Amino acid sequence: MDVNAVANAGWWTIQQGGGPVLATAIHDGHGLRPEIAREIALSDADRLREEDPFTGEAVRSVPFHVIAHRSRFEFDLNRNSDNAIYRSPDQSWGLEVWKSRQLAPELVRRSLELHSEYYRVLQSLLDGLAERHDRFAVIDVHSYNQRRAGPGGDPTPQQEAPDINIGTFSMPREQWAFLVDPLMEAMRGFDFNGRRLDVRENVAFQGKGEQTRFIHEHYPGRACAMALEFKKFFMDEWSGEPDSVEIAAMRAFITHIAAVAEDILAQ
């Protein structure tokens, strides 16, 4: 497979590096292919609110990274193929995604082809990591909303919404404690624009996404895939307006954590 050709097709961007750490931002994308855009009932703002904008910026300085450019409303890379296309509001935060309740089979088929293509590309990249390194790590970067009550509503209480939520559900946790525990300590100790972030495990989310599950299933004992969710303190989730200073700190944070992971894996 020509990974570079796929990367240049506009579905995702891949930058390859030689180290044992891959960072991904698979929900960063907002793009839709034209035939899907015609069928979407949601406004751009409604879609953006449930996407993970600026997570691509967070991973961009990690030497080996993947950033997806397609919206999760076209196909969700973090759900399996049976659930990758949102068919009903209970799959999509109560939102009616489509103008018609019955999507044309050809639209569905093409979306699922692209979903499958991503996982073929991902496996090719991970096979390369496995050839070069005895053990490797994937930092799977996402974000989550904290103001579901509306732009003027109260945010989710801090005890239920850490600044960073680490999801480890699909991971053999004890096997990877030597990596995950010091990484979380490094996250808590990072100077994030003059403050320390609240970093906790399996609070707002448990890391049950398809990508981490896929990685642990296909590379047992070799790969540690950790889902990392930023609370959306770095933007106004209702207007979409970013805080450039916070986003720059996110990028420095992920770059630092990837470097710490690489040092630990080298021991």
Task: Provide, rounded to the nearest whole percent, the portion of the chain with pLDDT above 70.
Answer: 97
For residues 74-87, average pLDDT: 97
- What is the model's pTM? 0.95
CA distances to 39, 70, 86, 91, 203 from 97, rounded to whole Å, are 9, 15, 7, 10, 28
Sheet of 164-167: strand order equals 12-15, 65-68, 21-25, 136-144, 223-231, 164-167, 199-201
Write down the pLDDT at residue 2. Answer: 39
- Residues with Cβ within 8 Å of residue 26, at least 6 apart in sequence: 66, 68, 77, 78, 118, 140, 142, 211
Class of domain 3-266: alpha beta
3-state class (DSSP) for residue 117: helix
Query: What confidence tens digit (pLDDT) does each residue in 15-54 have?
Result: 999 999 999 999 999 999 999 999 999 999 999 999 999 9
Query: pLDDT-derived band of residue 254, with 50, 70 and 90 as boundaries?
Result: very high
Query: What confidence tens digit (pLDDT) does each residue in 126-136 have?
Result: 999 999 999 99
Query: pLDDT-derived band of residue 101, with 50, 70 and 90 as boundaries?
Result: confident
Query: What confidence tens digit (pLDDT) does each residue in 208-219 have?
Result: 999 999 999 999
Write down the pLDDT at residue 10. Answer: 80
Domain ranges of the chain: 3-266
* Paired sense of beta strands 136-144 and 65-68, if any: unpaired
Write down the pLDDT at residue 102. Answer: 86
Query: What confidence tens digit (pLDDT) does each residue in 175-220 have?
Result: 999 999 999 999 999 999 999 999 999 999 999 999 999 999 999 9
